[in-house]
Amino acid sequence: MNFTQAIRYAVLRELVMARRARLSTQRTQEFKHLENAHVLGQESTYWHTYTHWLMLVWGWKNKAYSEVVGQILRIVGAISKTAIGLLPTGNTGGANVSPFKPMSLSSECAQAIAQAKSRCAKG
C-alpha cells in the first residue's frame, strides 16, 4: 500500500466535511476543512494537487481571486515538487501563507499521517 491509498479515508473525511460546510454556506469552515485535507494529503502528489484544485474552485466561487492566483501557482508546485519531497510539513496550502513555510501539525493530523505511514510500512 502506498501513502496515497493509506491516507485516502482521512483526506476524504475532511472533504466530506468541507462539502457539508459549503452546503450550509459556511465558507470559512469549508476552507478550513480543505486546509486540513491539504495537510493530510500533502505527501501524495494526487491528494496534494487535488486539494489545491479544490481550493482554487473555492476561490473562484467566493470571488477570492488572490486565492485563485495563489492556487494556480501551488498546483504547479504540487505537481512538480511533491514526488521529490520539496514541501513544507504542515503547511495549510492557502494563498494567505507562504508556500515554503513549515507549520505545526494538529495532533489529529499528525496521528492520521503516522497511522497512514505505519500502514505503508506494513505493506
**What is the amino acid identity at position 116?**
A
Instruction: Enumerate helices (H) and strands (E) in the chain, giving the number of each.
Output: 6, 0
Find out whether 10 and 2 touch, Cβ atoms under 8 Å: no
**CA–CA separation, 42 and 35 (whole Å):** 10
**CA–CA separation, 62 and 65 (whole Å):** 8
105: cell is 501539525
Our count of domains for the chain comes to 1
How many residues in total does the chain contain? 123
Residue corresponding to grid cell 487535488: 50
Within 10 A of 23 (CB to CB), how many other CB atoms are there? 9
What's the N-to-C CA distance of the chain in angstroms?
A: 5
Domain that holds residue 65: 3-122
**CA–CA separation, 48 and 70 (whole Å):** 14
H-helix or E-strand containing 106? none
Say what the pLDDT of residue 122 is.
84
Q: pLDDT tens track of the chain, all 123 residues?
A: 999 999 999 999 999 999 999 999 999 999 999 999 999 999 999 999 999 999 999 999 999 999 999 999 999 999 999 989 889 999 999 999 999 999 999 999 999 999 999 999 987
